[in-house]
Amino acid sequence: METIINSTQIPVVTVDGPSGVGKGTLCVLLAKHFKWNLLDSGAIYRVLALSILDHNISLDSEDVLETHALNLPLKFVTMESGVHVLLNDIDVSDKLRTQEIGEMASKIAALPKVREALLQRQRDFRNKPGLIADGRDMGTVVFPDAPVKIFLDASPEARAERRMKQLQKNKICAIYDEILHEIKARDERDRNRTIAPLKSASDAFLIDSTDLTIDEVFQQALKIINSKINL
């Protein structure tokens, strides 16, 4: 007879932190290393942002936004190149990384009804053998019982420099001062919103990636996880 496993018995590693800190890259590396499921919660909000922009829905229409969130035709597909995001079965992964989408996602994330609509959808990603959850409130709100919580941080200047190089690599015009201003404004909005503000869980491990390579961050995270979970 098959043993029924309660979802709370499935291990979760949460990785929270501000925009542009490298959470996504770290989480993909961890998910591949452990062969676990991956939740990019930011992508959920970005897909919703893309969809409401496409449908010209006003941010003032919170009830409409809530209904739209509940019925969002969203899928995640894991491939060798990473996790691809599908909206209406169309791969929109590349469209989600623009500054406009990021700004809109941050704004809708501050709306209580929208956050509540997407909360259970995020928790549904907790499946065997385990989950790596990338976001801003994964350890404080979505998975408060996670056995391992990491808060990844870096200075706004370091994050702006990384973002500029990323945009330039994709042949997109980028101005450092503008990017730094946008990052600081987003940090202010994310840290001071009433619902689920960006903050480190009291039992989270802090990793400051300002002066670290992604491999150094990955090795620190592995050491933390292996010390907390018997894998």
**pLDDT score at 84:** 83
CATH for 12-36+129-224, options being 3.30.390.10, 3.40.50.10310, 3.30.830.10, 3.40.50.300: 3.40.50.300
pLDDT digits 0-9 by tens, 162-208: 989 888 887 788 899 999 999 999 899 889 888 788 999 999 999 99
The CA R_g of the chain, rounded to the nearest whole Å, is 17
Query: Given this structure, which CATH class describes domain 41-128?
Result: alpha beta
Closest Cα partner for 50 from 123, 102, 126, 1? Answer: 102
* 155 known member of a binding site: no
* 20 known member of a binding site: yes
**pLDDT score at 81:** 66
* 18 known member of a binding site: yes
pTM here?
Answer: 0.82
**pLDDT score at 174:** 84
- Residue 114 neighbours by CB distance under 10 Å: 23
**pLDDT score at 4:** 39
Q: Beta strand pairing status for 205-208 and 148-153? A: parallel
* 23 known member of a binding site: yes
Closest Cα partner for 141 from 98, 196, 203? Answer: 196
Q: Name the stretches of the chain with pLDDT < 50.
A: 1-5
* 22 known member of a binding site: yes
* 21 known member of a binding site: yes
**pLDDT score at 123:** 92
**pLDDT score at 78:** 66
* 25 known member of a binding site: yes
Whether 41-128 and 12-36+129-224 are alike in CATH topology: the answer is yes
Q: Where are the domains of the chain?
A: 12-36+129-224, 41-128
